[in-house]
Chains A and B, each alone.
Chain A
């Protein structure tokens, strides 16, 4: 299992992501954004979190034109598995590889804390190690995490089982920290090979640091 991790100027979660996947036994490689191809042996491509290009204009807006992004699109369109975490999720929506957009948090504050999430659909490689209805505890750290999709788009997400996770409390009751449409924390594309979420599973790998629920989430990719 080989995980390639994208690095833009301003990315800051690439080493956490590397740590997380190596802990699970995967080989990893960090790919600088000026590269124009994805390593051939890549089984999963991760767009890591951070602040690509200082989030200028909009989060992810400039990163989507990085040289590596045409290769990312090609990789995704050929069925390659792509995971965008936090800023990576923003980059993937900007690149139209995922539906919707991420707006400024409703309360306007940067939110950095652990938050519970409820699994909505596990019929995909990402969450297959979890059951629908399971609640996990994963850190969130974002300013622009307010997921927006219009009504028509939302209906499609629901009909195709594309909603992955919703923000809840520990009992699985909706608890929306940032104003996201329907409290959505993560989605995938219709083909279910491109995944995006604002929370950071790669930061939930050690019980000592608050939670190791990220292990069960990321393990889904390794089992495939």
Chain B
């Protein structure tokens, strides 16, 4: 099973990289862009077939290492 983890700065925490990318898109005249958030995606290949178990283990991984929950939120997709 694969787990796709997306990590982003929490809403309300200033995302300077997102702001810089937004600015760059703006100068390229993509002026319909209203907001940009830059995050990271972590793709895990798991030796696990039970979705529930996988979800609970990956959540643990996020809490312990993959995200810093002081400043970041995460979401997990299983595929």
Contact = CB atoms under 8 A, between A and B. Distances in A.
B17 A148 contact: no
B11 interface: no
B75 interface: no
Interface string A100-116: 11011111100000000
A65 B13 contact: no
A184 to B, nearest CB: 14
Interface residues of A, number: 19
Contact of A179 (B16, B17, B66, B70): B16
Interface in B10-24: 13-14, 16-17, 20
A101 B71 contact: yes
A179 B74 CA distance: 24
Size class of the contact patch on chain B: 10 to 19
Consensus secondary structure, chain B interface: mixed
Interface string A36-79: 00000000000000000000011001100100000000000000
Contact of A94 (B13, B16, B17, B68): B68
Interface in B24-56: none
A112 to B, nearest CB: 18
Per DSSP, chain A at the interface is: loop
Given A57-B66, A61-B68, A94-B68, A107 B16 contact: yes
Contacts of A57: 65-66
Nearest to B12: A150
A56 to B, nearest CB: 11
Interface in A141-198: 146, 148-149, 179
A100 B9 CA distance: 14
Nearest to B42: A57
A122 interface: no
A168 to B, nearest CB: 21
A48 B20 CA distance: 31
Looking at A58, A93, A107, A179, the one whose CB has the most chain B CB atoms below 10 A away is: A58
